[in-house]
């Protein structure tokens, strides 16, 4: 094995040739949706499986929609709770105002 040493000849630098590709997320999503629609439109078992799977993934797949639905549900629950508290306060006031004086008179 002979080691070659070039004292006067310096090796040239290696070039890295990279050509960036353009990435359009909207186009990629559109292509994915079109492919999913084609699969779901089929009348074979694979199409049926895809339709069933898409129904399961609807809530979990889109986080913005899921978050919006969750916020609406929480708001609705909070409004129901406030409404029930107000109704209970009025009911308690009605009971105290009309029945407590009669009850106290009967106790004396």
Whose tokens are 């105290």? That residue is 96
**Residue 62 structure tokens:** 């889109």
pTM: 0.40
The ranges assigned to domains in the chain are: 24-61, 63-108
For 37-88, write each residue's pLDDT tens digit: 887 777 888 777 777 777 776 555 567 777 888 899 999 999 999 999 999 9
For 5-47, write each residue's pLDDT tens digit: 667 777 788 888 887 788 888 998 999 888 878 877 778 887 7
**Residue 1 structure tokens:** 């094995």
């Amino acid at each position: 094995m002979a080691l070659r040493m070039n004292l006067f000849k310096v090796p040239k630098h290696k070039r890295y040739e990279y050509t960036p590709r353009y990435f359009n997320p909207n186009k990629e999503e559109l292509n994915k949706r079109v492919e999913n629609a084609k699969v779901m439109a089929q009348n074979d078992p694979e199409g049926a499986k895809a339709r069933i799977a898409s129904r399961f993934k609807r809530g979990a797949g889109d986080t913005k929609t899921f978050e919006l639905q969750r916020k609406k549900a929480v708001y609705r629950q909070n409004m129901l709770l406030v409404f029930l508290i107000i109704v209970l306060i009025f009911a308690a006031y009605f009971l105290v105002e009309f029945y407590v004086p009669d009850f106290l008179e009967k106790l004396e």
